[in-house]
Structure 1
Amino acid sequence: MRLNASELSWEESSAADAMLPSGRQEGGASARESPPLTAWGVALCVSGTVITAENAVVVAAILATPSLRAPVFLLLASLGLADLLAGVALVARFLFRFCLAPSDWSELATSGLLVTSLSASLCSLMGVALDRYLSLSHALTYGSGRSRRRAALLLLLVWAGACLVGAGPAMGWNCLDEPASCSVAPPLTRTYLSLLCGGFLAVVVATLQLYAGICRVARRHANAIATQRHFLPSSRSFGGKHGGGRGFSRLVLVLGVFVGCWMPFSLWGLLGDASSPPLYTYATLVPAAFSSLLNPMLYSLRNKDIRKVLLHACCPRRQAAQVHCPVDV
């Protein structure tokens, strides 16, 4: 959608232009003129700004509170930082695209930053699922200093891998000189994007397996408690007494958003090519970026300890309650 002074028209290519880097124009120039401002571009800048601000608040709240050092909070801080960088990448994309002269290096830099942030975000989500599984299956020992060191090592590996993957476009995995090798998201090559989306799908499947394990462990615990209380392990009676139905609905919401945000682009990146309609690429990439807006609300802001810290920051006169480490399914 292009916004002109005298008309409002729809162009399919403008949807992709707002998010995706464009290939090298004729003549091989490394710098090009800025295209006309589009509604997609404005939405890109606004959403990136909101994502950055929202996740910056979460990351600052966790890092500024010494008591929030359990593995779950380290993982939530990593998730918030990854989503914050995704918002920065979207804003930088807008600035380089519409405010400054676009160039090859700006396309590679913003594409690499976006790949790095989305990879770290997805792996952090898997880490959150792993934390929830371990905190249920090893409830007596999880949360110790050894667990925190393992979580820190996991995050170090996640970010090292994400930075290595994100450096791919700058290290030569781009189609700026060979437009025929472009994927549905230029300047990424089709081979590079296929490997990236294949990895995304593997992480999605592993995360779903972890949540399936969480359900099995929770059910086993519920049956054990029901047996100790000398009544049948009826899911209805136990769920009604202990809020199992509400926990299950939250789990369905988390998994629905997770799969809905990441599965479309992962599949489209494997199936599409450079000749595919750009609008389809935009329609599948937007949910993946939109997950950075939803993650703080689904994971961090649902945690009562983080909410207490934010409430105390907004209302300093309130007495801060003692922070503990709950496990939210």
Structure 2
Amino acid sequence: MILNASELPWDESSGLEPFFPLDHQESSTQPELPALTVWGVALCISGTLIATENAIVVTTILATPSLRAPVFLLLASLGLADLLAGVALILHFLFRFCVEPSDWSDLLTSGLLVTSLTASLCSLMGVALDRYLSLSHALTYGSGQSRRRAATLLLLVWLGACVIGAGPAMGWHCLEEPSSCSVARPLTRTYLSLLCGGFLMVVVVTLQLYAGICRVARRHAHAIATQRHFLPTNPPYPSRHSSGKGFSRLILVLSVFVGCWMPFSLWGLLGDASSPPLYTYATLVPAAGSSLLNPILYSLRNKDIRKS
């Protein structure tokens, strides 16, 4: 995926050899591969780290029979989505700097990246929904029926992500009409605007779910305090300490979530093909960086996964 229409996939060079006839020299002109850049190296390194980290998480969950609760299905889906994002970054580096770029390679990497980021963001929303339901329906959540519902939800998420990601390959691209390109070639501005608009909706729904988690947790704390006949405004030190620790973790998760996804979602709506590619890099890097942070924030902090 190239960042805008002004960033050509390669520079043409004559490649003349002194012992070739002139007519053969002109017919054998080959495009040169672009020079390796710091962005390209960072892209390859980050993609490798993302793929390795999430492969460990996915393998651990799938290989452990005891990790079959709805939350672990959601974490496996999140890890798989982020794993594909890392693979897409590696493929983008290879197609950009190691082999001759082509239209099909741009469509492949952009479609894979869109699919993985869409599935990752929807899986994050699913994790928030799981946390909300586990608090509001603590006695029944986690049963076999809940696992089947979680599996059905994930199936719909991945089907939707694959359909959305197939858009560029099915013809919704700007390769034949550069004027319609967005800040991320070969995606059209209409396609990226709809995509980023959907991302913003998912972000808003996820924030609402976490707000509901805070309300449910507060009601539970108040009910426990009432049953124990002491004021909730003056709990003992261990309760204050655990509540403060849980609240700080929630703030960290929400800050990383919004900080990673909001910049690119807004920039995709506001920018176009004439926008400076540096701005696109600056907003796309945090979105891809979320795939590096998600295993740490969601999976590796789980004691059952760490034990496995």
TM over 0.5: yes
Change (3 A) 1:235 1:192: farther
List per-residue Cα deviations over 1:31-87 (Å, max 9, x = no partner). 953211111101100000000000000000000001100000000000000000000
Does the 8 A contact of 2:11 with 2:34 survive in 1?
no
Q: What does residue range 18-37 of structure 1 map to in structure 2 within 5 Å?
A: 32-37=31-36
List per-residue Cα deviations over 1:213-240 (Å, max 9, x = no partner). 0000000000000000101111664774
Q: Which residue does the alignment assign to 1:154?
A: 153
Instruction: After TM superposition, give the deviation of residue 151 of structure 1 in Å.
Output: 0.2
Counterpart Cα distance in 1 of 2:237 and 2:260? 32
Runs of 4+ in 1 over 6 A off after TM superposition: 24-27
Counterpart Cα distance in 2 of 1:38 and 1:116? 26
Counterpart Cα distance in 1 of 2:33 and 2:55? 30
List per-residue Cα deviations over 1:152-174 (Å, max 9, x = no partner). 00000000000000001111111
Q: Which residue does the alignment assign to 1:299?
A: 298
Q: Which residue does the alignment assign to 1:283?
A: 282
Change (3 A) 1:219 1:125: same
List per-residue Cα deviations over 1:13-46 (Å, max 9, x = no partner). xxx96x678567899xxx9532111111011000
Change (3 A) 1:130 1:53: same
RMSD of aligned Cα (Å): 1.9
Counterpart Cα distance in 1 of 2:194 and 2:117? 14
List per-residue Cα deviations over 1:179-226 (Å, max 9, x = no partner). 100001111000000000000000000000000000000000000000
Instruction: After TM superposition, give the deviation of residue 100 of structure 1 in Å.
Output: 0.5
* TM-score, with length taken from structure 2: 0.90
Counterpart Cα distance in 1 of 2:31 and 2:147? 48
Report the secondary structure of 2:272's partner residue.
coil
Instruction: After TM superposition, give the deviation of residue 258 of structure 1 in Å.
Output: 0.1
Could you list the runs of 5+ residues in structure 2 that have no partner in the other structure?
13-29
Q: Which residue does the alignment assign to 1:55?
A: 54
Q: What does residue range 57-206 of structure 1 map to in structure 2 within 5 Å?
A: 57-206=56-205
The letter for the 1-side match of 2:66 is S
Counterpart Cα distance in 1 of 2:195 and 2:284? 13
The letter for the 1-side match of 2:173 is N
The letter for the 2-side match of 1:256 is S
Counterpart Cα distance in 2 of 1:55 and 1:177? 36
Does the 8 A contact of 1:23 with 1:179 survive in 2?
no
Report the secondary structure of 1:183's partner residue.
coil
Q: Which residue does the alignment assign to 1:46?
A: 45
Change (3 A) 1:131 1:209: same
Counterpart Cα distance in 1 of 2:76 and 2:42? 26
Q: Which residue does the alignment assign to 2:27?
A: none
Q: Which residue does the alignment assign to 2:15?
A: none
The letter for the 2-side match of 1:303 is N
Could you list the runs of 5+ residues in structure 1 that have no partner in the other structure?
1-15, 310-329
- Kindly indicate whether structure 1 or structure 2 has the higher relative contact order, using CA contacts under 8 Å at least 6 residues apart: 2
The letter for the 2-side match of 1:55 is N
Does the 8 A contact of 2:261 with 2:287 survive in 1?
yes
* Number of equivalenced pairs: 290
Does the 8 A contact of 2:260 with 2:287 survive in 1?
yes
Counterpart Cα distance in 2 of 1:235 and 1:172? 62
The letter for the 2-side match of 1:113 is L
Counterpart Cα distance in 2 of 1:49 and 1:20? 24
The letter for the 2-side match of 1:222 is A
List per-residue Cα deviations over 1:102-155 (Å, max 9, x = no partner). 000000000000000000000000000000000000000000000000000000
Does the 8 A contact of 1:222 with 1:238 survive in 2?
no
Change (3 A) 1:163 1:223: same
Change (3 A) 1:20 1:63: farther
* TM-score, with length taken from structure 1: 0.85
Report the secondary structure of 1:126's partner residue.
helix
Counterpart Cα distance in 1 of 2:231 and 2:279? 51
State yes or no: 1:209 paired with 2:232: no
The letter for the 2-side match of 1:70 is A
Q: Say which one has the larger Rg.
A: 2
The percent identity for this pair of structures is 80
Does the 8 A contact of 2:111 with 2:168 survive in 1?
yes
Change (3 A) 1:20 1:87: farther
Counterpart Cα distance in 1 of 2:177 and 2:238? 58
Q: What does residue range 210-289 of structure 1 map to in structure 2 within 5 Å?
A: 210-234=209-233, 237=236, 240-241=239-240, 243-289=242-288
Counterpart Cα distance in 2 of 1:272 and 1:117? 22
